[in-house]
Amino acid sequence: MEPQNLIGISEFLLLGLSEDPELQALLFGLFLSMYLVTVLGNLLIILAVGSDPHLHTPMYSFLSSLSLADTGFSTTTIPKMLVNIQTHSKSISHAGCLTQVSFFSLFGCLDSLLLAVMAYDRFVAICHPLHYAAIMRPHLCGLLVLLSFLISLLGAQTHCLMVSKLGFCTHVEIPHFFCDVPQLIRLACSDTSTSNIAIFLIGTISGLLPISGIIFSYYRIVSSILRVPSAGGKSKAFSTCGSHLAVVCLFYGAGLAVYFTLAASSSPGRNTVASVA
């Protein structure tokens, strides 16, 4: 069968987490609850930071941006999954698939870059406390957030363009609950060597570089804290970056678990379940 371009395909089929009819109500309730808790929690953080003048600091400003990006990240995939479960449908239009690819990449990369920016903020606060106010000025904080967004937008548009040029055979079934770029490349009928190179380059920019920045920042932070003479001073310094470090471990730990599972397993069921982590 001759491959067709994405434009020639009216829809894709998202196989979801399970085809068992008895599990659909449970999955719907579980993911709806998770989504509402995520959105409500992030909105409360944004409202708290915006309404309290004492929280108008660089760290909390970055936290608000991270909460907004996390809300967008969840909204990209879960609502469509809930609609498909409720309507007993598995279809997603080619435009909807491209939209998911674009926004999933945008918010995922933005999350990663914002975590790196927050690590830099903690590095300045602990290693250069006397110059913190002079370095982390409002216009620099805004510039860092804007730069993170523009880099993420460039990566998202590259992903979208890459997927739009893939050739697919008719009746494409995606063993996932959203349009994931690696899955789409595996299902393509055309040559995917260029797409694989593009994914590697984008992954390096959106993943490896932020991780390297975070590791370097915390290396300098730990080195600085170890030179503090008092145990109380060390504890206080560690407490200022403990919550950020926990978020970093959760974000990258879950991401690494997903993609190592995807690489090690050829089972669609295992791959899909792993991506929920």
Q: Answer for the pair 103, 69: CB distance below 8 angstroms, yes or no.
A: no
Distance (Å) of CA 20 to CA 23, 26, 85, 118:
6, 11, 11, 43
Report pLDDT for 267.
45
Distance (Å) of CA 102 to CA 83, 126, 132, 219:
20, 36, 36, 34
Which residues form the domain of 22?
4-274
Q: What is the pTM of this model?
A: 0.83
One digit per residue, the tens of pLDDT, for the chain of length 277 reads 444 444 456 678 888 777 777 788 888 999 999 999 999 999 999 999 989 888 888 988 999 999 999 999 999 989 998 988 888 888 888 888 889 999 999 998 999 999 999 999 999 988 888 899 999 999 999 999 999 999 999 988 888 888 888 777 766 788 878 888 888 888 877 777 777 787 778 777 777 888 889 999 989 988 888 887 777 767 777 777 777 777 787 777 666 655 554 444 444 444 444 444 4
Smallest Cα–Cα separation from 182: which of 107, 249, 105?
Answer: 105
Domain holding 265: CATH number? 1.20.1070.10
Q: Containing H/E element for 60?
A: helix 58-87
Report pLDDT for 79.
92
Report pLDDT for 167.
77
Report pLDDT for 258.
54
How many of the other CB atoms lie within 10 Å of CB of 256?
A: 12
By three-state DSSP, how is residue 5 classified? strand
> What's the total number of domains in the chain?
1
Report d(CA 205, CA 189) in Å as an integer: 27
Alpha helices in 128-230 (DSSP H): 132-135, 138-164, 181-187, 193-203, 209-226
Number of H helices, E strands in the chain: 10, 5
How many of the other CB atoms lie within 10 Å of CB of 231?
A: 8
Strands of the sheet containing 11-14, edge to edge, are: 91-93, 11-14, 173-174
Two structure tokens written together for 110: 């933005």
By three-state DSSP, how is residue 165 classified? coil
